[in-house]
Structure 1
Amino acid sequence: MALHLWLTFSLAYLITSLTPGPNVLLTVRNALRYGPSGMGMTLLGNLSAQLLLISGVAMGVGALLISLPAAFLALKLVGAGYLIYLGLRQLLSRDKPKLPAGEITPVAPRAKWRIGVEAFLVSASNPKTLVFFCAFLPQFLEPGRPIFGQFAAMFISIAAIVGLVHSFYCFTAYRFGQRLKASRLAAWFKRATGALFIGLGVRLLSTKAV
């Protein structure tokens, strides 16, 4: 992948990544709740799903899936339903005993894997990501160069950009969260997060393949 093409790709993807979506929201929520380990497992699940989607695009599976209305509709319903489920769970869950400001909830080894699987499902079941990759990635392919090598370079770049952007959002939310935990706004923040997940799920239902 030529340097100028890689720089253009990286800048374009960085710009598109700055708008928060369900993946960013989930990463921030888990970072505030579980600390660095929660953030790391969320990123691992998210990037694993993106690797699967990019591999599908490279093999033509993504375009095939989008061309099948029934398959695309099923994926859209699964993704929207899961986001709405996360939102309802956030809204309806009982408040746990409050921790002193600055402390986080300890994470058991099994819970870490559940966090990763949850992040994987959120990312992999979102057809908007698939549509975006199918439209965006081929624009930066160079004829005459190995296809999978170029897709590998793009995924590595995507992983680095996602890590940086999500870390920025998590750091910002953490600094704000230190004041939030010690105030009555904590309950409001929890409800707002749940409502955002539900809103993202409802919005996903209007996604079209083309």
Structure 2
Amino acid sequence: MSFHTWLLFSAAYLLTTISPGPNVLLVIRNSVRYGSRGAAASVAGNLLAQGVVVALVALGVGALLTTLPPLFVAMKVLGAGYLMYLGIRQLRGGGNRQASQAAQPTGVASPAHTFERNKVFREALFVSGSNPKTMIFLSAFMPQFIDHERGLPEQFIVMFLTIAVTVALVHTIYSLGVRGIHRRVGASRWIAAIKRGSGLVFVALGIKLLTAQRA
């Protein structure tokens, strides 16, 4: 992959990452609820899932997914169901518990914080990895930048590292932005608004994924 091709890939992927989706929503929600640790766990889970997806694309699994409608439907139902589950749980969860968690100092580590980070990591991992549209998109997107006269593994590694840096940068900007707003608005009111809003959006994203086609 030439430097010019890499620049085109980086710019194109940056544009797709800026657009808010389930992963960005998780970062925003967890930044408000758990601070920087929540954002870091969300990004880490997302990047691990992205690494697995890129590896599967390199092995041709993404192309296989487009030729097996039952597999696509199964993954779609699984991912949509989990998004709607997160949304409903968010709408029904206790606002007071979230407010008290947000009021605790984020620099203090405790078993409760560790448990929450692990849960947030698993949520991000599953949300990012269970969406079949991600694999189909990368299967169509990444080969456009492949130079077949050069080693394929090295190019896929470079593209994944570029994806990782882009995702980490964009999600960090979202996290810092929402935490800045959080500091300027009453904590309980802000958390309640995020709780209701993110719950509704998760449900809407689940419905959207459930009705998605394999285009």
The reply to whether TM is greater than 0.5 is yes
Residue identity in the other structure for 1:198: V
Q: Which residue of 2 aligns with 1:63?
A: 63
Cα distance, 1:101 vs. partner?
8.0
1:200 to 182, 197, 205: 205
Query: Any conservation in 2 of the 1:46–1:123 contact (CA below 8 Å)?
Result: yes
Residue identity in the other structure for 1:88: I
Confirm whether residue 4 of structure 1 aligns to residue 9 of structure 2: no
Residue identity in the other structure for 2:72: F
Confirm whether residue 149 of structure 1 aligns to residue 151 of structure 2: no
Give the alignment's Cα RMSD to 1 decimal. 1.8
Structure 2 matches for 1:121-160, cutoff 5 A?
121-160=126-165
Residue identity in the other structure for 1:47: L
Query: Any conservation in 1 of the 2:33–2:101 contact (CA below 8 Å)?
Result: no
- Matched residue of 2:71: which SS? helix
User: Whole-Å Cα distance in 2 between the matches of residues 143 and 68 of structure 1?
Assistant: 27
- Matched residue of 1:96: which SS? helix
Q: Which residue of 2 aligns with 1:51?
A: 51
* Cα deviation code 1:171-201 (max 9, x no counterpart): 1111111233346354233111100000111
Query: Any conservation in 2 of the 1:101–1:181 contact (CA below 8 Å)?
Result: no
User: Whole-Å Cα distance in 2 between the matches of residues 185 and 166 of structure 1?
Assistant: 20
1:166 to 168, 171, 174: 171
- When residues 75 and 101 of structure 1 are mapped into structure 2, their CA distance, relative to the original with a 3 A threshold, is closer
Residue identity in the other structure for 1:112: R
- Matched residue of 2:173: which SS? helix
Cα distance, 1:209 vs. partner?
1.4
Higher helix share: 2
User: Whole-Å Cα distance in 2 between the matches of residues 209 and 99 of structure 1?
Assistant: 43
Q: How many pairs were matched up?
A: 210
User: Whole-Å Cα distance in 1 between the matches of residues 115 and 94 of structure 2?
Assistant: 21
Residue identity in the other structure for 2:54: I
Identity of aligned residues (%): 45
Query: Any conservation in 1 of the 2:33–2:191 contact (CA below 8 Å)?
Result: no
Residue identity in the other structure for 2:145: F
Query: Any conservation in 1 of the 2:29–2:194 contact (CA below 8 Å)?
Result: no
* Cα deviation code 1:79-138 (max 9, x no counterpart): 000000000010001122544987556653233222111110000001121121011000
- Unaligned runs of at least 5 residues, structure 2: none
User: Whole-Å Cα distance in 2 between the matches of residues 166 and 130 of structure 1?
Assistant: 20
How high is the TM-score relative to the length of structure 2? 0.91
Query: Any conservation in 1 of the 2:58–2:156 contact (CA below 8 Å)?
Result: yes
Quick check: 185-194 or 64-73, which moved more? 185-194
Residue identity in the other structure for 1:201: G
- Matched residue of 1:108: which SS? helix
Quick check: 2-11 or 92-101, which moved more? 92-101
* Cα deviation code 1:45-98 (max 9, x no counterpart): 101001111100100011112210000000000000000000001000112254
